[in-house]
Structure formats: structure tokens, C-alpha cells
Amino acid sequence: MTTQTVSRGTALITVLLLCSCGGGGPVTSKVTIRDSAGIEIVENDLPLWGEDDEWLVSQETVLEIGAVGGSPEQQLFRVEDVARLSDGRIAVLDGGAQELRIFAPDGQYRMTVGGAGDGPGEFQRPQQLEVLAGDTLRVWDDRAGRTTWFDANGSYLHTESRARKSLQELLSPPYFTIWSHLLPDGAFFAQSAESRRIGEHGLERPRQLFLWISPDLAQVDTLGVFGGVEQAVGSPEGRRLSLIPPYPRTTWWAFGGNPPRVVLGEQEAPEIFVFEAGRLRRIIRWASEPEPITAADIEAWKVLSREWMGRMMSAQALEDFLESAPIPDYRAPYGYLHADVEGNVWIEEAGLTVLRLDWLSCRVFDPTGRLLGTTQVPPIRIMEIGPDYILGVHYDDDRVQSVRMYRLIKP
């Protein structure tokens, strides 16, 4: 049973959901939706799922691709994107080899298309893969500024160029570099980093500019300026260096939905921003208490920092840096963002580092921004969330990559 109380004067909608869930008893959920100058504000207090409604992810993988000592086709390096075709085949965009590999539903290698070069069907820096209608494969090559299409059998179809220089010319100081993502309708989501020097000492976040660019490059809308990866700045051995602190803040983004949406989150507060066609349409917020960074968190961070930074400076300088580095008081309020094929938004809890190392709790919101509930997601860099699977890239202790798929169970 659903009851809605509507106050027209304040455009405030309070949704109270009562449901009986298989012996779990009544579950009360409250979502407040209001309009602010044409922008929908969705504020979540409690989740909609009852005890028996939660989505679950299998602990065991149902598919794994990649082997250190296997055939060359099974050895992956710098996987940029992964997608699943309608017949269960898996397409893997390998940025190291600059090629697209297709595997059978059981993980057996089937074919390779593309390769390094400037010719038809070749890549310079492929970074985005999409499966379109009829299992047509679309690859966006950011460095070359072109999109290449292959049919479901891997045969080359055609290429469309969009000069990277034209995208670059859309910027002005202090933003000089650009990274672009091709949206389903042909528009671009573009990110540009601020060109600046590292500060003297303390915590800082370099600024990043985000743009929506129309397919013909004629219209450019600024989505906003958000903070980049949080950095702890110090000067060990007289050299100014930056180190990513524990539970760092950064700006994550995700794409999905129909019409195409861009979801952005700066991690300064428990809220995210949803854009459509370059316009802010919705702000999603949820109740969350700040989590202090503990002494155990700091010790775990030091262990990883010694492993990752040991070659950049002497052992003593690194220890001095770790002891003197400024540490945030609280964890980032959330981590990675994802948008699944059904338009739901997944928001992971913050991790110790930007590299996924453990199973983490993840909030799931429906396409309208209502909080459904939480589930656990596996230690992979998630590339695609389908109706009944989660697909992504796993890193072992030596950072060797493999593609893994888990079953998503929806009661």
C-alpha cells in the first residue's frame, strides 16, 4: 500500500511506503521530493527494501577471463572497458594491446579485432566500449578522436572521426587537457584537469571542469567545477610530493538511463547530481553520519603506501612523509558511482584507496532517485551491471588483471 501526501504550495511530496514482506513485518520508508527552480531534490531517510527484498551478489564468480601463464589472448593489460553481448559473449577492450577481444559465454577466447595503428578498425588509445542494438560494438578512441563500429561477428563496419583538436579548442586557461566520453546519443561528456603546481603542505583537491558537448560540437554546457583526487602534500628530502590520503575524496561519475544521463558526485556530502542533455535535473541526497578515520585505518594506509611509494624516495623519507602527512578527519561519504542497464544508480561506500580491494556495501537508488537499499559488491572495478549480473576487472596482489562476472540475485 502506498500513500502520498502532496503539498502543492511548497511543491513538497512525501512518500510513505508500507509493505508486508514475507514475515519481515511492515517496513516504513520515507522519501521527500521537492522542486527547486526546475531541479528535483530527492532526500532519502530510509530505504524502500524490506528484509526479504534485498538484492544479493553471489560470492563466487560465474565467469573469469585472464591468466598470468595462459595463452597471450588470456593475458590482459590495462583493461579499459568490458561489455556483455546478448548471447552471453564477453567483449574486452584491452588498452595495453590496443585491441578488442571477444570471449565465449564460458570464457573461452574466440577472436581479436582492431590493433594498434591509424587504419580502418585500428586504435591509438581505445578507452570506451558499448554494445548497441543487434550486438553492434562501438569503440571510442579518445586519442584518435574517432568512433569505430564492428558487427556482432567482429567484422569492421565503419569509422567516424571527431577531431580531438576541436574538443581541445573548447577549453580556456587554467584548463588545458581534456578527456572525453561518448554518450549513447553521440554527445560528449568531457573532463579537464586544472594546470597548476602542487601546494606547499596540507590537504588539497585540484579542480576539474566537466562539460557536456553536443554531437556536432556546436553547443557546450558547463556541468560544473568539482574537486579532483584529494592529495596530502609534503616535502620529503626537499622534494615537494603529494600522496593520496586514506579514504580520499574525488569526483566520480557514471552514465546510463534513457534519455542518457550523467551522474556526478564530488564526495563532499552524501549527495550526487544527475544531468540530462547538459542540464542539472535532479539532486539525490541520503541520510548518512560522517565516519571518522581511525588509527587502524591510518596504519593500513601506511602499509599500502610503503608498497606503492617505496621506489619514489628513500625508506626514511617515506616514513617521515607518512608521519607528517596531513590526514582527513573523516572518510569520504561514498565511493564509486555506477548506473545499471535499468537506470538504477549504485553508490559504493568509500574505500581505503581508490583501488578496490574488498567487498563493500553499496546503496542502490531507483531511476527516480529513491533509495531502494544496500547490498554488497565484489572487489572489482565494476564495468557493467546488467539485470542479473555484475561484470568488471579484478586486480590481484601483483595488480595482474582479470575479468570477472558475478550473479546478481533479485528476489
Start-to-end C-alpha separation, the chain: 19
Q: How confident is the model at residue 18 (pLDDT cuts 50, 70, 90)?
A: very low
Residue 17 in this model has a pLDDT that exceeds 70: no
Name the average pLDDT for the chain. 87
Residue 27 in this model has a pLDDT that exceeds 60: no
Check: CB of residue 209 under 8 Å from CB of residue 191.
Answer: yes
Q: How confident is the model at residue 1 (pLDDT cuts 50, 70, 90)?
A: very low
Residue 123 in this model has a pLDDT that exceeds 50: yes
Taking residues 357-367, report their average pLDDT: 93
Tell whether omega for the bond before 259 is within 30 degrees of 0, i.e. cis: yes
| Look-up of cell digits 553520519 | 289
pLDDT, residue 163, reads 62
Domain ranges of the chain: 2-44, 61-161+380-411
Euclidean distance between CA atoms 271 and 74, whole angstroms: 40
Q: How confident is the model at residue 332 (pLDDT cuts 50, 70, 90)?
A: very high
pLDDT, residue 44, reads 97
pLDDT digits (tens, 9 = 90+) for 92-114: 999 999 999 999 999 999 999 99
DSSP label of 299: H
Residue 274 in this model has a pLDDT that exceeds 50: yes
pLDDT, residue 12, reads 32
pLDDT, greater one: 298 or 257: 298
Euclidean distance between CA atoms 330 and 335, whole angstroms: 13
DSSP label of 134: G
**CATH numeric code, 61-161+380-411:** 2.120.10.30
pLDDT, residue 165, reads 66
pLDDT, residue 117, reads 92
Residue 238 in this model has a pLDDT that exceeds 80: no
* pTM, 2 dp: 0.88
Residue 206 in this model has a pLDDT that exceeds 60: yes
Residue 172 in this model has a pLDDT that exceeds 90: no
Question: Is the backbone of residue 373 left (phi > 0), alpha (psi -120 to 50) or beta?
Answer: left
pLDDT digits (tens, 9 = 90+) for 215-234: 888 889 999 999 999 999 88
